[in-house]
């Protein structure tokens, strides 16, 4: 009986300095690793983990023609690894076809924190608990900068004009709320 030739085992490493679609796909890869790992370890909401993998695979398909081969290979190998607990035979076969190795002998993928951090965050602005605006801010913006950016939004300026702000609540990376009298 003839055996199938094994593919050449290439290092499972993405490009060193990704940009554009490569960076986008690597971020999605590491976010998916993080989400699936956390869901399996803490929540036991396996349907959420499977949906995350499906969304990741779908996004990988859409960008596959715009990324470097090692990026799509890294993403595909990672998807097969993450799928293994839910569809072991299919995932093991896919992983073996890609790497020539057994998925159960490889360590579980770990997310790189550098790819989990987003450069721009969407901040929600509320006045008295009601949504007024949204804006983009750098991930490292200080609470004072976030408050100033929130005040600069036209709907917020109109809503707080002539009112005294009693309290300013800032949840970094998420929300600015102005409480008026």
> Could you report the per-residue pLDDT of 95-152, keeping only the tens digit for each?
999 999 999 999 999 998 888 877 788 999 999 999 999 999 988 889 999 999 999 9
147 and 166 assigned to the same domain = yes
CA pseudo-torsion sign 52, 53, 55, 60? positive
DSSP line for 75-86: HHHHHHHHHTTT
Domain that holds residue 104: 21-116
Domain membership of residue 1 (yes or no) is: no
- Examine the pLDDT at 4 and tell me if it is beyond 50: no
147 and 170 assigned to the same domain = yes
Q: How far is it, in rounded angstroms, from Cα 137 to Cα 10? A: 39
The CATH code of the domain that includes 134 is 3.10.20.590
64 and 142 assigned to the same domain = no
Q: Say if strands 120-127 and 175-180 run parallel, antiparallel, or are unpaired.
A: parallel
25 and 94 assigned to the same domain = yes
Cβ atoms of residues 49 and 87 within 8 Å: no
Residue 76 has a CB neighbour count (10 Å cut-off) of 19
124 and 52 assigned to the same domain = no
As for how many domains the chain has, the answer is: 2
pLDDT of residue 15: 65
Q: How far is it, in rounded angstroms, from Cα 53 to Cα 41? A: 16
The CATH code of the domain that includes 42 is 1.10.730.10
What is the C-alpha R_g of the chain? 22
Q: List Cα–Cα distances, 7 to 10, 95, 138, in angstroms.
A: 9, 11, 43
Exposure string of 152-172, with b = 16+ CB inside 10 Å and e = fewer, is: ebeebeebbeeeeeeeeebee
**Minimal CA–CA distance to 6: which of 81, 100, 118, 92?**
100
45 and 93 assigned to the same domain = yes
135 and 94 assigned to the same domain = no
Last residue of a domain, which of 73, 98, 116? 116
110 and 155 assigned to the same domain = no
pLDDT of residue 11: 41
Last residue of a domain, which of 116, 146, 165? 116
pLDDT in tens, 10-35: 445 666 677 788 888 999 999 999 99
Domain membership of residue 43 (yes or no) is: yes
Last residue of a domain, which of 116, 143, 161? 116
Domain membership of residue 10 (yes or no) is: no
65 and 43 assigned to the same domain = yes
Residue 46 has a CB neighbour count (10 Å cut-off) of 13
92 and 39 assigned to the same domain = yes
Burial of 14 (0-12, 13-18, 19+ CB in 10 A): buried
State the pTM of this model. 0.64
Domain membership of residue 101 (yes or no) is: yes
């Amino acid at each position: 009986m003839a055996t199938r030739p094994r593919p050449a085992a290439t290092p499972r490493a993405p490009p060193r300095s990704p940009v554009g679609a490569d960076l986008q796909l690597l971020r999605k890869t590491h976010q998916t690793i993080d989400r699936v790992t956390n869901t399996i370890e803490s929540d036991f909401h396996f349907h959420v983990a499977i949906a995350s993998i499906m969304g990741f695979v779908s996004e990988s398909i859409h960008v596959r023609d715009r990324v470097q081969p090692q990026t799509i290979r890294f993403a595909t190998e990672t998807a097969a690894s993450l799928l293994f607990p839910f569809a072991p035979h299919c995932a093991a076969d896919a992983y073996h076809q890609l790497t020539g190795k057994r998925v159960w002998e490889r360590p579980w993928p770990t997310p790189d924190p550098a790819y989990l951090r987003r450069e721009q965050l969407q901040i929600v602005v509320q006045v008295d608990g009601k949504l007024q605006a949204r804006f983009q801010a750098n991930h490292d913006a200080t609470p004072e900068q976030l408050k100033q950016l929130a005040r600069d939004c036209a709907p917020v300026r109109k809503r707080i004009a002539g009112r005294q702000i009693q309290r300013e609540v800032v949840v970094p990376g998420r929300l600015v709320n102005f409480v008026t009298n």
